[in-house]
Structure 1
C-alpha cells in the first residue's frame, strides 16, 4: 500500500495545451480531480498541419490560465499537491520548453518535486488510471508521430515489440486526407468520408503482413492511395469516399495480422502467469471507431480484454502526465533535477534499436 498522492500535470508536447490534477489513492486507484485541455485546431487548420512556432506561442499565452483553472476545478491550491509532472518529450521542442520550464518554475517556487515525464509513458499508463489494469499488458500506440506495439511490464519498464519503419499511422491518415482535399485534422475527415464508401473498390497493399516481425509500414499504402486518386482524376465525392473506405479496410486487415501476432507472442511468453491478458490502445488514432471495432474483434477471438480509454484520454492530455508522475512517485522512482532538458526524441524503450534513423536529437522511433 502506498501513500495518497495528488499530482499536477502539464502537457504541451504538440498543439494541445493542458493541465490536470490527478489523485492516486492508497490502494493505487486513480481519480481525475480537475482537467482542462485547450485545442489549437483553429490556429493550425488553415495551414493543413501543426506549425511549431504558432503552437509554442499559443502554449505561452494559455498555460498559466489553464493551470489555475485545473487547480480550481480540483478544489486545491499549489501547496496541496505532492508533486508536479510535466511532459519533457518527445514532441515539438518549443512546446516542450514552455511546459517544462513552467513546471520547473512552479516546483522551485513551491518546493515540490518535479517529474519530467515521457509523453509515451503517459499513454502507456492511462489504462491503470481508468481501469486499474495490472501489469503486464500490451499497448498499441497509434498517433500522428508514433505507431508502436509495447509490452508494459511495470512503471518505467517497457519493451518495444514493434514500430513503424517509415510513416506513423496518424501521419498516413493526415497525408491521405490532404491528398484528397479533405480538411485537417485528417483522421476524423477520412473516417467520416469512409462511412459512405465501398471498402472493396480499391485493393490497397498491406505492408509486412505475413512477416514474423511485429513492425509496421504505411508509406507504401499512402503511395497507393495517391496513385489510385491520380488514375481516376478528377475524383468525385463518391470516389473519395471509396478511397477512404478502402484505405481504412487495408489498415484494419494490416492490424489484424500485426496485432494478432503480438497477442500470440504475449500468450506464449506469459502462458499461465497472466490470468486476464489485455491489449490497450492509445493515441489520437485510437478514436477511429472502425479500428477500435477491428481490435475488439481480434481481442475477443484471442481471449484478451480490449481496453480503449475514453476518447478525451486517447488524445494528448495532462491527466495522463499527472498520473504517470503519480505512478513514478508511488513506485519510489527519483524525481528529476531542475536542470533536466526537454527531448524532442525520446524512445520509451531505451534499449530498442532505431529502425528509421538516428540523428543529433536521438532515435527517430
Structure 2
C-alpha cells in the first residue's frame, strides 16, 4: 500500500500567490490541512488585466509569508512534510519561476522530493479535493487561459479530445466585460450584471457550426459582443447583452461537451461515465447549470470542485504532487519553468491548435 503523503503545494502561475498543505492517506483519502491564497486584484485592477512584471514582483514579495502561513494553519513544520509540489508551468514564466524556485529551495534544504506540477493537471484533480472521483473521467477544463476537453485516464495520463482554436472561454468573458466597461476581474462582474437579463435579446454568432469535432472558438463571439457594446445606451441593454454573452458561452461549452460525452461513452462502452468540470469558469452558475443538464441527459455523473478550488489555488497542486509521490514519481532540482506545457504533448505536436513558437506548443 502506498504510504501517506503530506505535501506543501505552491502556485504562482498567474496573479495568485498560493500555498497549501494536503495529506493523502494510503487509501487515497484526501484532507486539505490548509489553503492560503493571496490575490493581486488590487495591483492589476488599474490596468484592466494581469501585468506579468507586476505579478512576478508580487509573488517574490509574498511567497515566503504565504508558505509559512499555510504551514501554521496546518499545524505543521517543514520537518513533518513528505514532499513539496510547485507549479512549473504553463503560465506567466516570471511568476512560475518564483514558486518553483521556492519549492526547490525547500526540497534542497529539507531533503524532500520535489514534484514539478503541470498547472493544468492541478485543475484536472481539483474536484478530487472534496469528493471521491475515481479515474477515468471526462474533463472539461475551462478557465481564463485554457479551454479543453480531456479524457483523464490516470495520474498524469490525459488525452485531448478538443481544445480552443483561439481564445479561452474565461478570456472571452474577461475581454467582453472590459469592452462593456466592467471592472477587473471581468468574468465575475459580467455574471453579476447578467442577473435578470434577457439572454435572447441579442443574436450572437455560433462558431464552428460546420465542424463535428470537439474544438471551441470564442473570438467571433468576442468581436460581435464588442461591437454591440459600443451602441448600448441603457442599463437594461447592458444587462441583456451580459446575459446573452453568458448564455452563448454556456451553450458552446455544453454543445462541445455533449459531443465529447457521446465519443467518450462509446470508448468506455457505457462504463465509468463521469463528467468533471474544473477551472475558473466552472464557478459561473449559468455555465455550471447548463453542463449539469447535458451530463444528466447523457447519463453521466457530474462533479465540479467547490468554488474555492475552481480558481487558481495550491491545494490542487499539492494533491497532484501527492498522487505522483504515492506512485514514486518525483522530479530533479533542475526541473525547468515552462511557459507552455500541454497535458497531451502528443496531440499538441500532431494536431496543434496554434502554431508552436520558440517556447513550444501551446496547451
TM range (shorter): over 0.9
Equivalent in the alignment of 1:359 = 357
The SS at the match of 2:97 is helix
Secondary structure of the corresponding residue to residue 339 of structure 2: coil
Work out whether residues 127 and 306 of structure 2, in 8 Å CA contact, stay in contact via their aligned partners in 1.
no
The separation in 2 between residues aligned to 1:81 and 1:327, in whole angstroms, is 15
TM-score, with length taken from structure 2: 0.97
1:43 matches 2:43: yes
Number of the residue aligned with 1:297: 293
Q: What does residue range 166-315 of structure 1 map to in structure 2 within 5 Å?
A: 166-209=166-209, 211-230=211-230, 233-274=231-272, 277-315=273-311
**1:349 aligned partner:** 344
Q: 2:128–2:305: 8 Å Cα contact kept in structure 1?
A: no
Which digits, 9 at most, give the CA deviation of each residue in 1:307-354, with x for residues without a partner?
A: 111111010000000000000011222x11111110001001111132
Asked if residue 156 in structure 1 is aligned to residue 156 in structure 2, the reply is yes
1:131, 1:163 → 2: CA distance? 26
Give me the whole-angstrom Cα distance separating, in 1, the residues matched to 2:305 and 2:294: 17
SS at match of 2:296: helix
Kindly provide the CA deviation profile for residues 9-39 of structure 1, in whole angstroms up to 9, marking residues without a partner as x.
Answer: 0000000000011000010110101111101
Give the superposition deviation at 1:128.
2.5
8 A contact 1:281–1:308 mirrored in 2: yes
SS in 2 for 1:53: helix
Listed one character per residue, the Cα deviations across residues 249-269 of structure 1 (whole Å, up to 9, x for unaligned) are: 212222221111111111110
Aligned-partner Cα distance in 1 for 2:193–2:300 = 31
CA distance in 1, matches of 2:315, 2:154: 19
Cα distance in 2 for partners of 1:124, 1:255 equals: 17
Given that residues 29 and 129 in structure 1 are in contact (C-alpha distance below 8 angstroms), is that contact kept between their aligned partners in structure 2? no
Q: Do the aligned partners of residues 272 and 204 (structure 1) sit closer, same or farther apart at CA in structure 2, a change above 3 Å counting?
A: closer
Structure 2: runs of 5+ lacking an equivalent: none
Q: Deviations over 1:218-240 (max 9, x none)?
A: 0011111122223xx25321111
Cα distance between partner residues in 2 of 1:273 and 1:49: 43
Per-residue displacement from partner, 1:25-62 (whole Å, max 9, x unpaired)?
01011010111110111111111000111111111111
Alignment coverage as a number of residue pairs: 360
Deviation at 1:210, TM superposition (A): 5.7
Larger displacement relative to structure 2 (208-217 or 68-77): 208-217
Distance in 1 of aligned mates of 2:238 and 2:354: 31
Structure 1: runs of 5+ lacking an equivalent: none
User: How far, CA to CA, are the matches of 1:255 and 1:13 in structure 2?
Assistant: 24
After superposition, the C-alpha distances for 1:58-102 in whole angstroms (9 at most, x for unaligned) are: 111111011111111111111110010000000001101110010
Between 1:80-89 and 1:207-216, the stretch displaced more is 207-216
Deviations 1:140-169 (A, max 9, x none): 111110000011000011101000000011
Tell me the alpha carbon deviations over residues 106-135 of structure 1, each in whole angstroms, 9 at most, x when there is no partner. 111000011000000001112223212111
2:67 is matched with which residue? 67
Once the 2 structures are TM-superposed, how far is the Cα of residue 206 of structure 1 from its aligned partner? 1.5
Do 2:176 and 2:222's aligned partners in 1 also have CA atoms closer than 8 Å?
A: yes
TM-score, normalised on structure 1?
0.96
State the match for 1:119 in structure 2.
119
Q: Structure 2: how far apart are the matches of 1:235 and 1:176?
A: 16
Asked whether the 8 Å contact 1:209–1:254 carries over to 2, the reply is no
Q: Distance in 1 between the 2:271 and 2:241 partners?
A: 44
